[in-house]
Amino acid sequence: MLKDVTASHNLTTAANKPPPLFSRLGAFLLTIGMVLAFFISQLLGVYIAGTLVLPAHKASTASDIFFFGSNDGTVVSLSIMIGCVLLVAISVLVIRLRGGRVRQYLALKPFSFAVGMGMFGLLLLFMIISQALTYWFDETPLVFVDPLYQSVSSVWLLVVAMVIVAPLYEELIFRGVLWSAISEQYTPQAASEHRGAIVASLVTSLIFAVIHVQYGIYEVSTIVVLALIFCYARVKSGSLLLPMLLHVINNGAAMWQYLAQAA
């Protein structure tokens, strides 16, 4: 009898669940396309910002722009903002072309204060453990920021780009578009109704870690754990806004620590 009730509940849930925007092949192609769009938007951002900011002798050719621009704090900061605009536009366009509602598909809705505090506590625990391990292994994960900090026209420009803008569009892509596209491939009739969330979290977290090419193996491994925390926040709250906020807090804490040491 209990099994019949459970089966009936799963059928009702499946009936109420909107059809997936993407097929499995579509989700696979979307993942590849969004990762490519991520890198292309970064390169395009560096090129546009480089032509506007770099002096003439450093922007004479495209290769010069990429070489000098990738180590210039002002260029990189502006490129992050340009990339954000491009990726947001692409994400919205893709969802609308598939007939989806952007706010609903990306779970852009309020979250519970209690859940938010609980996830903040989990993030804080991660940050403490990560900091202890970083000190123990004598790692310097933010060393790539040095040339950016030394060359940026305004430190606040770098802070806004890396602490606020970058987390927003990274979450939009990985815990938003890609997470939704992968998780929607699984229905409540599956062996585990949480399978979609688990698969989506593992896939997007691994990709998210790998694209951070500026880091070493130790840093990439911690990013995987951090990304899984963001995914858990996405599942627990049912909202993309919570992982966005946690990402901003994490980057803000890291930047505050860097600036305190650099001062």
The 10s digit of each residue's pLDDT in 209-237 is 988 877 778 888 999 999 999 999 999 99
Query: pLDDT, tens digit, for every residue of 49-62?
Result: 999 999 998 998 99
Contact call for residues 89 and 119 (beta carbons, < 8 A): no
Q: Does 193 have pLDDT greater than 80?
A: no
Query: pLDDT, tens digit, for every residue of 152-188?
Result: 999 999 999 999 999 999 999 999 999 999 999 886 6
Q: What is the DSSP secondary-structure string of 125-150?
A: HHHHHHHHHHHHTT--TTTTHHHHHH
User: Binning pLDDT at 50, 70 and 90, where does residue 10 land?
Assistant: very low
Top-confidence residue, 3 or 176: 176
Averaged pLDDT of the chain: 90
Contact call for residues 176 and 95 (beta carbons, < 8 A): no
DSSP percent split of the chain into helix, strand, coil, nearest 5: 80, 0, 20
Q: Does 8 have pLDDT greater than 90?
A: no
What pLDDT does 151 receive?
Answer: 94
What pLDDT does 174 receive?
Answer: 97
Distance CA 207, CA 211 (A): 6
What pLDDT does 54 receive?
Answer: 96
End-to-end CA distance of the chain: 68
Joined together, the tokens standing for residue 99 give 């007939």
Top-confidence residue, 145 or 176: 176
Among residues 165, 173, 232, 191, which one has the least CA distance to residue 33?
173
Question: What pTM does this model have?
Answer: 0.90
